[in-house]
Structure 1
């Protein structure tokens, strides 16, 4: 009885929310009534905003709290995507190097794809292998291992690998125990114990624990340092790697790897935090000899995002930090820039769809083709969705629907969001 009552209240609230949204969109004189009803819904104890922009008419059709600051979570990856498109070429800049006969001096650019468990790219490895003598310059980054404001207890989780100038294997150890215990890269095989433990790795050392009940393959970040990277490089190259303090005199060349769009798509569709952080480091490699997320962010804010309606507080590429603050107005503005500067076909391939291939596990709306191309952003008590919406008549709208500090289950927030966006799709 209690469950049925709650379900009834929930769907009644959704219906009222959508009805009052439609009334509000018909006449500005009804906005006050809409705002009142919106605040009386279960969202009234949280902080929320909706901004909708009609691209065809270049006109904002609705704005509620659009100028207020929200914690964006992974909506930050939209800004990271835009940063990549402004600074990076079509192919990832994998290495910077100087070659002298059969000797190569190289340094990392932050390219995340090298030997990555998903990309499995070894293009740069094959390039380096052509040289008999290899020198590596590892001192070209000002980055800490984590971004500011990241949660310390995430150190053993797959979504929180350390940042580095020369990431290898995605900076994670891939572990599996069926039919026998194996680790990739093999360097860590002797550092894995099959046992129950509070964490999957010791916080400051590469000692790993695999719960015997886990039968699936798991990824655990490893502690990165110069010695570990040198050993991994030696193993995969099959030759010694010498470390040098500085490059020889002369201009550096850039060796390019896989298409950047494959990295962007993986970041957006899987909300991959590691790829997002490394994209900002990659961007900084085109601006300075020292890799720095802060350099990429500051250059974007000064050069390409100086016209945002409200200037953000932006501290990382992934949105893991709760220090990030963006307004929905600013996210809509960035989404407009992306739509203006990138073909819609390419753009909609980079953004996840609200269907079983992207944002939700199942598509439960027969008679409707997926019509939302958007990036979600969530962590505890926060759920945001920003992107593009195709209406029934084929118009393209930009929207940002942000929700912070709620205490209801997040699936109720997602239900609100979809019901509202579906009503806009049907009406226009």
Structure 2
């Protein structure tokens, strides 16, 4: 092959690539010129969006057509839009059966360890007592090990000083009680209630902790379970707080012994032979909590469960690598994906690749199921107060939010009055002030899509 002909092929290939990209960014012929001009005014020429960085993609899954794109090939911090990838991965890997525990019988003893399942003793989830009943039914000695957990307590790129906040519990192999301690005062005259009661022994009053504050303050030491309460937490206004506890094998033993009313022993090292699995049917309640409440803990534990099922160890990085190379390999752009929840600012996605995974979900799951799991505009979840029908009718937006400071995303499905279901992804980064301004503009655009397309 001559050098000139080789150069021609390279040049021709570049032209083809540029043409494909241009077509993707400009949309398709399925929009009329009037419709495209309207979207240009609403999106591309939007004065609010021009103050920051905005990407937008709108796709018709029935026709397999991009209807409109604005900077949809560029990367943005997705925040909790990351949970869309986690949902898809969990559905693909875990299927219709959820592992609760792994166990082996050694003579009269039962050795057990976690699968990453977050349900154990969490009353907000189904299956919360199934594993407890199984352990109580065993007459011989019980031994707990967490040798299958091969990860760190926090994800890559998480804020190290957010450890005491409800949205950042530690990742673990065998969660208990959602890895939270709940502090409640329903009335000003009542004492503080601590749930689970097991943690009452770790609570103390600290008169020097914000003594002049009228607000309840609860402080936990980072590497131990010592919860200090200021005076206002004991005598002030009613409140409800969720504080993550620090996970240790000894703590798990204490909780299990308190719950089972019997001794449980710890095995720091354990060589697995033929492990058995205690399973339950797929709990859609868990997926609804993941998406509608944007539960970070469930998101992280789901990836650990997937890793446990595929590789026999719980490791988020390994699971994400597998999902990238197999489940999501055909996405338009490779995801810079590091955790299950979106807490990390290291995550970077493009709007068109978020649309890709939303389309995969739409193809593989019934629409009714998706619309029950995703938050519904004006009705439930994180968009309960946004994107609702003006006439009080049925919701037309079903979408996942994603928020970090100066970043807000919204991706999901929008129904139109003409009977179509379209897929969209908004990603806004680097705005200042409240996210309400961009939400108001997205509300206008989604209403226009619902009415005009």
Please indicate, yes or no, whether the TM-score normalized by the shorter chain is above 0.5.
Answer: yes
Q: Do the aligned partners of 1:90 and 1:261 also contact (CA within 8 Å) in 2? A: no
CA shift digits 1:297-334 (9 cap, x unpaired):
01101111111111011000000000000111110000
CA shift digits 1:113-172 (9 cap, x unpaired):
101142271110110111121111212112111111111222111111111000101111
CA shift digits 1:151-205 (9 cap, x unpaired):
1222111111111000101111111234222212222202223555566312222
1:130 aligns with 2:153: no
Q: Counterpart of 1:162?
A: 170
Q: Distance in 1 between matches of 2:39 and 2:84?
A: 33
Q: Counterpart of 2:262?
A: 239
Q: Counterpart of 2:200?
A: 189
Q: Do the aligned partners of 1:124 and 1:257 also contact (CA within 8 Å) in 2? A: no
1:200-349 matched pairs, under 5 angstroms: 200-210=219-229, 211-212=233-234, 213-247=236-270, 250-257=273-280, 259-349=282-372
Q: Call closer, same or farther: CA 1:30–1:229 in 2, change over 3 Å.
A: closer
Q: Call closer, same or farther: CA 1:174–1:36 in 2, change over 3 Å.
A: closer
Q: Aligned match of 1:177 in 180, 185, 193? A: 185
Q: Do the aligned partners of 2:377 and 2:385 also contact (CA within 8 Å) in 1? A: no
Q: Call closer, same or farther: CA 1:311–1:44 in 2, change over 3 Å.
A: same
Q: Which moved more, 1:400-409 or 1:60-69?
A: 400-409
Q: Distance in 2 between matches of 1:412 and 1:152?
A: 30
1:404 aligns with 2:429: yes
Secondary structure of the 1:389 match is: strand
Q: Distance in 1 between matches of 2:177 and 2:73?
A: 41
Q: Counterpart of 1:145?
A: 153
Q: Which moved more, 1:374-383 or 1:192-201?
A: 192-201
CA shift digits 1:227-281 (9 cap, x unpaired):
1111111111111112224446632111014633221111100000000000000
Q: Which moved more, 1:118-127 or 1:393-402?
A: 118-127
Gaps of 5+ in 1: 1-20
Q: Which moved more, 1:141-150 or 1:273-282?
A: 141-150
Q: Counterpart of 1:12?
A: none
Q: Distance in 2 between matches of 1:352 and 1:396?
A: 16
Q: Distance in 1 between matches of 2:87 and 2:226?
A: 34
Q: Aligned match of 1:80 in 76, 86, 95? A: 86
Q: Which moved more, 1:404-413 or 1:94-103?
A: 94-103
Q: Distance in 2 between matches of 1:106 and 1:290?
A: 14
Q: Do the aligned partners of 1:273 and 1:318 also contact (CA within 8 Å) in 2? A: yes
1:16-31 matched pairs, under 5 angstroms: 25-27=31-33
Q: Counterpart of 2:411?
A: 386
Q: Distance in 1 between matches of 2:257 and 2:35?
A: 70
User: Aligned-pair RMSD on alpha carbons?
Assistant: 2.4
Q: Do the aligned partners of 1:281 and 1:292 also contact (CA within 8 Å) in 2? A: yes
Q: Counterpart of 1:70?
A: 76
Secondary structure of the 2:274 match is: coil
Q: Which moved more, 1:311-320 or 1:367-376?
A: 367-376
**TM-score after normalising by structure 2:** 0.84
Q: Do the aligned partners of 2:183 and 2:194 also contact (CA within 8 Å) in 1? A: yes
**How many aligned positions are there?**
406
Cα distance, 1:219 vs structure 2? 0.9
Secondary structure of the 2:414 match is: strand
Q: Distance in 2 between matches of 1:420 and 1:113?
A: 39
Q: Counterpart of 2:11?
A: none
Cα distance, 1:56 vs structure 2? 2.0
Secondary structure of the 2:359 match is: helix
**TM-score after normalising by structure 1:** 0.89
Q: Do the aligned partners of 1:172 and 1:219 also contact (CA within 8 Å) in 2? A: yes
Q: Aligned match of 1:47 in 45, 53, 60? A: 53
Q: Do the aligned partners of 2:48 and 2:437 also contact (CA within 8 Å) in 1? A: no
Gaps of 5+ in 2: 1-26, 211-216
Q: Give 1 or 2 for the bigger CA radius of gyration.
A: 2
